[in-house]
Amino acid sequence: MKIVCLGDSITYGFPFGPQASWVSMLQEALEAEVINQGINGNTTSDMVRRFDRSVLKYNPTHLIIMGGINDVICAESFDRICWNLREMIEKAREAGIKVILGIPTAVDEPGWEKLIARIRRWMKDYAREHHLEVIDFAAAFYDENGQLKSELLLADGGHPDISGYQAMFGQIDLSMFE
């Protein structure tokens, strides 16, 4: 089994580095080859552009895609974000790779959060329609009343702290890799 994790800084493990990321925790838990292809600042358009060299060249069995927050911050359109995600999913499936969608995490900025929530809903609906697995990373950042657990975020309101990355890992159902 070989898993590529494609994403942005929250996949990379910013600002602590890849060793603190949920990707690193996944590798430890599965004792499998897990390749961190998170790049700080990446949008879904960036991920589409680098898809062949960041994903296909590794010939993985599984791909976890997580993105969309930087797109919202950069004022990318909802339609473009969805198109990009669909493009990557279809390319991976054509290559025989099992695709898992990572639902974008919380952002402590109401305007952006509203747009990111729309992307989350679209991703979950798309996954249901196309029989894809989902890791609801966003769920780690809300309590049972739907209140943001801001203590899991750095002062920037967008990046997880160490406990936030651990909470993200806690959302992964390891049985989806069996």
| Structural domains in the chain plus CATH codes | 2-173 (3.40.50.1110)
Q: What is the pLDDT of residue 178?
A: 84
pLDDT digits (tens, 9 = 90+) for 44-61: 999 999 999 999 999 999
Bridge partners, residue 63, by sequence: 4, 99
Q: What is the pLDDT of residue 31?
A: 86
Give the residue ranges of the chain where pLDDT is below 50.
none
Buried b (16+ CB within 10 A) or exposed e, 114-150: ebbeebbebbbebbeeeebebbbbbebbeeeeeebee
Q: What is the pLDDT of residue 48?
A: 98
Residue of 107, 68, 59, 112 whose CA lies nearest to 86: 68
